[in-house]
Amino acid sequence: MSETLRLPSWTDIEQAVRRIDGYVHRTPVLSSRYFNRRTGANLFFKCENFQRVGAFKFRGACNAIAALPAETARRGVITHSSGNHGQAVALASRLHGYQAVVVMPDDSARVKVEAVREYGAEVVFCAPGTKSRDDAVQELIDRHDHVFVPPYNHPDIIAGQGTAASELLGEIPDLDVILAPVGGGGLISGTAIAARHLAPDIRVIGAEPRNADDAARSFHSGKLEPASPEQTVADGLRTTLGPLNLAVIRDHVDDILTVSEEAIIREMRTVWERMKIIIEPSCAVPLAALSEHDMGINGLRVGIILTGGNVDLDALPW
């Protein structure tokens, strides 16, 4: 599972665009009179909540799996995830004709387990925690020679996630600022590479829950900082930053802002009420940053990646 990874570049994103064509939805870009009035800016929302499996994660998984040599992938694809990446790998594998195994903690929500199975993957349970998860994956790789598709710390994943910003800037070329949430850093690093190439003067801003602020700390210290002990409602952002992701972020991201749990929940609800679209808590983090930080965006054109819409409707956070 460990190898020395090269930094991805714009060329990788161009290649990803071609690889995922026909598999991935070209998602719509929405605007909102309400949020424009409230922020004084002109906001453009790239709606990856409408992406297949309900999240941008499908882009990276689809690109990484399409990039595998067929003889390797035929041995089976494996990943670990209790969330959107597992569904993304399951569906992308099925569409490419490969078997997939998703290692999930045995306390995963049943609806998430069912979703992974519905996309045709085998689910293998492990005890909760990073160590048991990694051990379970390694054991299956040792036994079956499966190929591992990591959730964020890989150039093909980063390049795949970068295709969302590339589509957004293709449609709205003159953005002044682009915002995305930060968890493991796959999305923000892909976004930064695409944005830097397509709009060199753009400001690239990451947004992170204050209760899971290892990326903000790592960005400022220049080295990978340990996970925060707090919990966050933004379940998609509980992972810690990857080393490759930090390297890209240090080169191309202008700032990482942190936000409160209250603002995440409030902005999630406001999007539901005002825009009539379903977003998950992680997805509201950039909007929380707009409400809690003076970003000097008055009169500017701001792109926001809405990352996903997978929510348990029986356990809403308000």
| Residue 97 burial (C-beta neighbours within 10 Å; 0-12, 13-18, 19+) | exposed
Among 38, 141, 272, 291, the residue binding a second copy under the rule CB under 8 A is: 272
Q: Would you count residue 54 as binding a second copy (CB under 8 A)?
A: yes
Cβ atoms of 47 and 30 closer than 8 Å: yes
- The whole-angstrom separation of Cα 238 and Cα 256 is 16
What letters, b where the CB count within 10 A reaches 16 and e where it falls short, cover 48-84?
Answer: bbbbbbbbbbbbbbbbbbbbbeeeebeebbbbbbbbb
Q: Does 5 bind a second copy (CB under 8 A)?
A: no
Size of the site for a second copy (CB under 8 A): 19
Cβ(253)–Cβ(219) below 8 Å: yes
Single-letter code of the amino acid located at 132: S
- Least Å distance, CB 45 to a second copy, is 12
Shortest Cβ distance from residue 272 to a second copy (Å)?
A: 6
Here's the x/- map for a second copy, 218-257, by CB under 8 A: it reads as ----------------------------------------
State which of residues 35, 44, 50, 98 lies at the interface with a second copy (CB under 8 A).
50
Q: Which of residues 67-96 bind a second copy (CB under 8 A)?
A: none
Strand partners, 47: 306
Q: Give 79's strand partners.
A: 102
Contact positions with a second copy (CB under 8 A) in 252-271: 269
Q: Which is nearer to a second copy, 104 or 279 (CB)?
A: 279
Task: Retrieve residue 155's tokens.
Answer: 């150039």
Q: Which of residues 16-35 bind a second copy (CB under 8 A)?
A: 28, 33
User: Is residue 307 at the binding interface for a second copy, with CB under 8 A as the rule?
Assistant: no
Q: Give 32 or 218: the residue with its C-beta nearer to a second copy.
A: 32
276 touches a second copy by CB under 8 A: yes
Q: Based on CB atoms, which residue is closest to a second copy, 215 or 275?
A: 275
Residue closer to a second copy, measured from CB, 27 or 218: 27
Dist CA 311 CA 298 (whole Å): 32
The verdict on 315 binding a second copy (CB under 8 A) reads no
User: Who contacts 82 (Cβ-Cβ below 8 Å, separation ≥6)?
Assistant: 104, 105, 108, 109, 112
Q: Which of 277, 293, 300, 301 binds a second copy (CB under 8 A)?
A: 277
C-beta atoms surrounding 229 within 10 Å:
7
Interacting residue ranges for a second copy, rule: CB under 8 A: 28, 33, 49-50, 52, 54, 269, 272-273, 275-279, 309, 313-314, 316, 318
